Chain A
Amino acid sequence: MAPAPADPKKPPAPASAPAAAPNSPARTISGELGAAPAARYTGPDPKVACGLLQGTGPSDQALAVVAHVTGGPVPVALGAESFPALRGAVRTHLDSNLPPGEKPLPVGGAPVFDLELALTRFHDRAYAVARVGPGVPLGDSDESTQTGLQKAAWKLPRPC
């Protein structure tokens, strides 16, 4: 079968792909060296199941996800029965190693997202973006959801 005609919009394909130098693994998208091809995995399926870590703080602030690797269990024989030893959950974030209460420093110039601070800022924005009052007509951009009567209640009396 004849080969398909080349797409004129695409650059011509090189005669042969540039061969990788021996023992020099390709770089990944994040710039690191990729795993050597020799490391073909033949071990057990890691069987990772993720769950929430219990008791990690207020439910409206903390979401601590952990990964349970259950592949390759360790059976502990007790008489006729056998029970699996449980492994520790793998955390999805690095442990900070910071003293309690101390906040992490920015890494790579990017500020660390602080949920508490974000919540405060979001809350305080209510004073700016509120669509109600103070009884000043804003023309067509007035997006108040109040009824005419409610709006009238907001009108400020003008000094004579």
Chain B
Amino acid sequence: MAGPSKAGPALRLLRKGQVERAAEMFKKLLQQDPSDLGCMVGLARAHLARKKFDEAQPLLRQVLAQVPDHGEAQSHLAFIDLQNGNAPALDLLKRLTLSRKAGFFEFFNAGTALLQRGDDQGAQVALERAKQADQKSAQVRVALGRLHLKRGDFRDAIAELKAAVELAPNDPLPVLLLSQAYAATGEAGHGADAVGKALITQPQSVPLHERMVEVSLLAGWPQKAIKSAIALRQINRLNPDYAYMHAVAMLASGLVPEARHILEGTLQKEPKSAALRQALAQTLRLMGEEAKALALLEETAQLKPGDPGVAADLAAAHLKAGDAAKAQKALKRALEEHPDHPVLHYDLALAQAKAGDKAGARISAAKAKASTDLLVAELAGKLLDGLK
């Protein structure tokens, strides 16, 4: 009779995430005892963790040669088959979850496959079973959290993602998703708190600082956004996006000349960015330099005539100058690329009304009123009333 498996130390390495070292150890152990099932399964898992399906397959077949009803090995093989384009493998994956002995990987593989196939309901059932099999799997919590996010079940998403954050405290991914779920519920402050907590253990994490800028701005905490933007610029001085984020945070904080100064510096590195040019034009306008702002917007509209932000700002400038025709021209050009943009429709309605085209204005205002953007819908409604 074969002795007990010697896979223990290598499995422990694997569980700590030291996949390469664990794989080497499994290989050595299998040289000593080629029939060690624990090592075969462990090495197959190490290959699966690195998407080395071709190397996992022979090992899993060897497992099945010894134990034909080995559920995990069958499930992994079916999952690999499915990834290789063999659609009927999905049926086997589903069938394996029905076994009384079905464990974590049978449910996890089936859940993943069903997610890939767009069967969210089936995926949720499988993933919930996987969660029962391993309460401490951060991966299952993230998969369930994403599923809830996708369906708009934000409370459930937050519960799963909070658990994932606790289970994988050194990975930025669960926190990024959690902050997203909070942002979707309008609780960006909670998202900023979660990201701030993660930044204590991961102070150099670029995605976390980027997210901190976003959720802090959303929460109305521009000072926190400025802090993370500065951290990003210190981590990577050459990335113009971080300078731009810094400028937007400064603008949100009311520091207009400082924002303008950063934007002007960044424009030299990113001369074609419409976002940057538009933000700079807004600071120029706020500082009373209307002519410069208009010139910059007109130049940008030449570069990117369909940009909705630039078109709306340009139209506002033309309307301020009393030139409704130019405003309409800019807006109509942008609407060709963004036919459902509510702000463009609203501004166009204003420009048309100003030019005496009440019928056109009513059509445009009605389109703006249908928007899910509450502010635009409300203003468009009032405008429609005024046009009667």
- A interface residues with partner B (beta carbon < 8 Å): 29-32, 34-35, 39-41, 43-46, 48-52, 54, 58-60, 63, 65, 67, 69, 71-72, 74, 76, 78-79, 81, 83-95, 97, 107-110, 113, 115, 118-119, 122-139, 141, 143-146, 150, 153-154, 156-160
Kindly supply a per-residue 1/0 record for chain B positions 274-293, scoring 1 wherever the CB is within 8 Å of any chain A CB and 0 otherwise: 11101100100111100000
Q: How far is the CB of A106 from chain B (nearest CB, A)?
A: 9
In the docked arrangement, what's the CA distance between A100 and B191, Å? 30
Q: Which among B7, B103, B105 is the interface contact of A136 at CB below 8 angstroms?
A: B7
Query: Given the interface contacts A67-B252, A94-B273, A113-B210, does A79 sit within 8 Å of B261 by beta carbon?
Result: no
Q: Which among A89, A97, A127, A146 is the interface contact of B309 at CB below 8 angstroms?
A: A89
Whose C-beta in chain B lies nearest to the C-beta of A69?
B282
Whose C-beta in chain A lies nearest to the C-beta of B386?
A81
Q: How far is the CB of A58 from chain B (nearest CB, A)?
A: 6
Q: Which residues of B contact A128 (CB under 8 A)?
A: 14-15, 17, 19, 22, 45-46, 49
Q: Is the CB of B38 within 8 A of A143?
A: no
Q: How far is the CB of A154 from chain B (nearest CB, A)?
A: 6
Query: Given the interface contacts A46-B251, A85-B347, A122-B173, does A63 sit within 8 Å of B180 by beta carbon?
Result: yes
Q: Which among B213, B239, B254 is the interface contact of A46 at CB below 8 angstroms?
A: B254
In the docked arrangement, what's the CA distance between A81 and B241, Å? 41
Q: Is the CB of B137 within 8 A of A131?
A: yes
Q: Which residues of A contact B12 (CB under 8 A)?
A: 138, 141
In the docked arrangement, what's the CA distance between A43 and B251, Å? 12
In the docked arrangement, what's the CA distance between A21 and B311, Å? 43
Query: Given the interface contacts A30-B230, A86-B347, A86-B379, does A124 sit within 8 Å of B50 by beta carbon?
Result: yes
Q: How far is the CB of B229 from chain A (nearest CB, A)?
A: 9
Q: Is the CB of A125 within 8 A of B386?
A: no
Q: Is the CB of A153 within 8 A of B217?
A: no
Q: Which among B172, B176, B256, B386 is the interface contact of A79 at CB below 8 angstroms?
A: B386
Q: How far is the CB of A104 from chain B (nearest CB, A)?
A: 9
B224 at the interface (CB under 8 A from A): no
Whose C-beta in chain B lies nearest to the C-beta of A85?
B316
In the docked arrangement, what's the CA distance between A57 and B200, Å? 30
Q: Is the CB of A83 within 8 A of B104?
A: no
Q: Which among A74, A78, A94, A109 is the interface contact of B240 at CB below 8 angstroms?
A: A94
Query: Given the interface contacts A60-B177, A95-B273, does A84 sit within 8 Å of B379 by beta carbon?
Result: yes
Q: Is the CB of A59 within 8 A of B150?
A: yes
Q: Is the CB of B256 within 8 A of A41?
A: yes
A50, A86, A95, A143 pick with most chain B CB within 10 angstroms: A86
B319 at the interface (CB under 8 A from A): yes
Q: Is the CB of A87 within 8 A of B316?
A: yes
Kindly supply a per-residue 1/0 record for chain B positions 259-273, scoring 1 wherever the CB is within 8 Å of any chain A CB and 0 otherwise: 011100100001011
Q: Which residues of B contact A126 (CB under 8 A)?
A: 49, 108, 137, 139-140
In the docked arrangement, what's the CA distance between A50 and B255, Å? 16
In the docked arrangement, what's the CA distance between A46 and B133, Å? 53
Q: How far is the CB of B139 from chain A (nearest CB, A)?
A: 4
In the docked arrangement, what's the CA distance between A128 and B104, Å? 13
Q: Which among B136, B244, B251, B354 is the interface contact of A76 at CB below 8 angstroms?
A: B354
Q: How far is the CB of A85 from chain B (nearest CB, A)?
A: 4
Q: How far is the CB of A77 from chain B (nearest CB, A)?
A: 8
Query: Given the interface contacts A123-B143, A156-B70, does A85 sit within 8 Å of B315 by beta carbon?
Result: yes
Query: Given the interface contacts A51-B218, A90-B275, A145-B136, does A138 sit within 8 Å of B376 by beta carbon?
Result: no
Q: Which residues of B contact A76 (CB under 8 A)?
A: 319, 350, 353-354
In the docked arrangement, what's the CA distance between A141 and B135, Å? 16
Kindly supply a per-residue 1/0 record for chain B positions 1-29, scoring 1 wherever the CB is within 8 Å of any chain A CB and 0 otherwise: 11011011001101111010010000000
Q: Is the CB of B150 within 8 A of A127?
A: no
Residues of B237-256 at the interface with A, using a CB-CB cut-off of 8 Å, are 237-241, 243-246, 248, 251-252, 254-256
Query: Given the interface contacts A60-B180, A93-B245, A97-B272, does A134 sit within 8 Å of B41 by beta carbon?
Result: yes
Q: Which residues of B contact A109 (CB under 8 A)?
A: 236, 238
Q: Which residues of A contact B58 (CB under 8 A)?
A: none
Query: Given the interface contacts A43-B288, A156-B38, does A54 sit within 8 Å of B236 by beta carbon?
Result: no
